[in-house]
A and B are shown apart, each in its own frame.
Chain A
Amino acid sequence: MSKEAYRDLWTSFINGDDGAMKLLYTEFADMLYSFGLRFTTDTELVKDAIQDLFVDLFKYHRTLAIEVNVKSYLFTSLKRKICLVLKKRAAEINQHFEIPFLLSGSMEEQIINDERQSELLGKLSRQLELLPSRQKEALYLRFNSELDYEEISAIMNVSLETCRTLVYRGIKQLRERMVVSHIYKILA
């Protein structure tokens, strides 16, 4: 769906079109679900947060701004809801809470083209897991959720330039580790 289509959908939702809300849900449920699972492994918590998010949208639809980037609005709200619960849970057991970003590539889910590529991808996913959370988040939003830098900057609450730098550093680190592991040399 294009940005314009999202905006139209959003506008009709704000104007009280019931069908628009279901369309929003259909369009975003999976995307939000997998994004939510980057902060916790608790699938019930993520589903509850998605439910909360849409109920809130409905409750406050009259007061929502039309000029809003739908994607980043939904992602940001979901992240806030989930992190709030996680923070509370951590406080209950007197633990410090830092926003995690869980990104481990499961080999089973991957589509692997020949053995060399499979080895390379396996190595890449393991290295990906080791990157700092913020870099992982930026890489994920850019190449998995396929958001643009403006949207990413809204979700991560940092400047556009910082987003680009996070992506740049993440990729650079991955590339350098590939070189170290010699696998990249075979490709080169």
Chain B
Amino acid sequence: MDSKNRYRAEDLLSGRIPQGEEDHISDSERELADEIKIAVKSAGQEKLEPLEAAALWEKIAESTTLKTKRVSLKPYLQAAAVLLVAFGIGFWQYSKNTPTHKLMEFAAQNLNKKSPDAIIEISKDKTNKGTDISLHDDIITTNDYNTVVVGEGRRSAISLPDGTKVWLNSGSKLIYPINFQGDTREVYLEGEGYFDVRHDKQHPFFVRAKHMEIKVLGTEFYVSSNTESDQNYAVLVQGSIAFSTGNWLNRVEKKLVPGQQISIDAKNNNVHISQVKTTEFEAWKAGYVDMQSEPLDEIIQRIARYYHIEISTGGLDLSGERFSGRLDLQRSVADVIQTLCLGTPYTYNDSERRLELKKR
């Protein structure tokens, strides 16, 4: 027997190839073994939704003496809006002592602090109805506000005291009051978030951020978004929102209908409305990327944008590797890319965040 053909896929995968004889298997058998691994790996990959995982943990904590807080994860009756937004830091001029002023002042004081000693206290206040549904990120409670900080390369979902759900992207921060008081519900966002706003006509919901504010008007869903750090935009998926930017005389107000994206150029105070496909934003919320015969390098750059990191493809020509299907982003960046690279001649080096040619 030709030494190349001494072993087969089953020998390789069950570890029956003796040391030193790893080369005695043909490339096609090796490839088939890889394909079988992928087939097994991709069958049965169900995951708990972040909200489900958190609700389940709450039940466990309640049944043990780990009861640190009581949480009500009631079914969401009606959502007013779903929205994806991305913003940088920036502050409006608000009249003093209004809830908005207090929120913006708090954001101004706390978000720019870089050093860890700026973080005041991590408390699990029993009166805190803000539900920490994230299992990874810190919710810092200071005065009357919770600040959620999502670490690099992570995504998070939280539930606000009114039942509004927010999905936050890597590197984002959200500030919201421990309890919504007064006539409005207001939150402050830096980064990217997808909002599913609970319907409450008496208490309109505002998302405040650098250069813009969004008021939730309708009774259905909407999404708004932004990805680039110096470019702000919002995308409405369902429902209705009012978007405003600028101060005083420069103030611009627009109402959006579903499927519209509004972008603002902060320098010139220009506002531009365009039609977009909302499916990608919904996919972002759900944590997957749909690919249709997309080359590997483009997919990798999409993943890098999702997680706000840079990934080097080291000058490799990846255009020949095309993928179709659904890529699950619930795991870490490294896991996602490694899964993607199975069956390609490449491997991902997590510590240097770059793609390399696999050594056989």
Residues in chain A within 8 A of chain B (CB atoms): 18, 21-22, 25-26, 29-30, 33-34, 37-38, 47, 50-51, 54-55, 58-59, 102-114, 117-118, 120-121, 124-125, 128-129, 139-140, 142-144, 149, 164-165, 167-169, 171-172, 174-175, 178, 184, 187-188
Q: Is the CB of B325 within 8 A of A171?
A: no
Q: Is the CB of A128 within 8 A of B40?
A: yes
**Cα(A164)–Cα(B26), bound, Å:** 22
- Which residues of B are found within 8 Å of A107, using beta-carbon distances? 325
Q: Is the CB of B323 within 8 A of A112?
A: yes
Q: Is the CB of A103 within 8 A of B10?
A: no
User: 6 closest pairs, A vs B, by CB?
Assistant: A105-B43, A171-B10, A124-B39, A168-B14, A58-B64, A172-B10
Q: Is the CB of A188 within 8 A of B42?
A: no
Choice from A29, A110, A118, A184 contacting B48 with Cβ under 8 Å? A29
> Provided the pairs A30-B47, A117-B343, A164-B16 are in contact, do residues A110 and B36 lie with their beta carbons within 8 angstroms?
no
Choice from B26, B44, B323 contacting A103 with Cβ under 8 Å? B44
**Cα(A112)–Cα(B296), bound, Å:** 11
- Which residues of B are found within 8 Å of A142, using beta-carbon distances? 13, 40
- Which residues of A are found within 8 Å of B64, using beta-carbon distances? 21, 54-55, 58-59
Q: B326: shortest Cβ distance to chain A, in Å? A: 5
Known A55-B64, A165-B14, A175-B8; 12 more pairs at CB < 8 Å: A25-B60, A26-B136, A37-B44, A54-B60, A103-B44, A110-B39, A110-B326, A111-B42, A124-B35, A125-B43, A168-B11, A168-B14
- Which residues of A are found within 8 Å of B28, using beta-carbon distances? 184, 187-188
Q: Is the CB of B344 within 8 A of A34?
A: no
Choice from A22, A29, A117, A124 contacting B36 with Cβ under 8 Å? A124
| B327 on the A face (CB < 8 A) | yes
| B309 on the A face (CB < 8 A) | no
Choice from A21, A37, A111 contacting B339 with Cβ under 8 Å? A111
Q: Is the CB of B41 within 8 A of A144?
A: yes
Q: Is the CB of A51 within 8 A of B59?
A: yes
| B56 on the A face (CB < 8 A) | yes
Q: B31: shortest Cβ distance to chain A, in Å? A: 6
| B38 on the A face (CB < 8 A) | yes
A-B Cβ contacts below 8 A, count: 164
**Cα(A109)–Cα(B40), bound, Å:** 12
Residues in chain B within 8 A of chain A (CB atoms): 8-11, 13-16, 26, 28, 31-33, 35-48, 52-53, 56-57, 59-61, 63-66, 135-136, 291, 321-328, 330, 339-340, 343-344
Q: Is the CB of A164 within 8 A of B35?
A: no
**Cα(A153)–Cα(B299), bound, Å:** 38
> Provided the pairs A111-B42, A140-B40 are in contact, do residues A117 and B35 lie with their beta carbons within 8 angstroms?
yes
Q: Is the CB of B66 within 8 A of A58?
A: yes
Q: B264: shortest Cβ distance to chain A, in Å? A: 36
Choice from B33, B37, B325 contacting A111 with Cβ under 8 Å? B325
Q: Is the CB of A34 within 8 A of B35?
A: no
Q: Is the CB of B136 within 8 A of A187?
A: no
Q: Is the CB of B42 within 8 A of A109?
A: yes
**Cα(A30)–Cα(B54), bound, Å:** 12
**Cα(A184)–Cα(B9), bound, Å:** 12
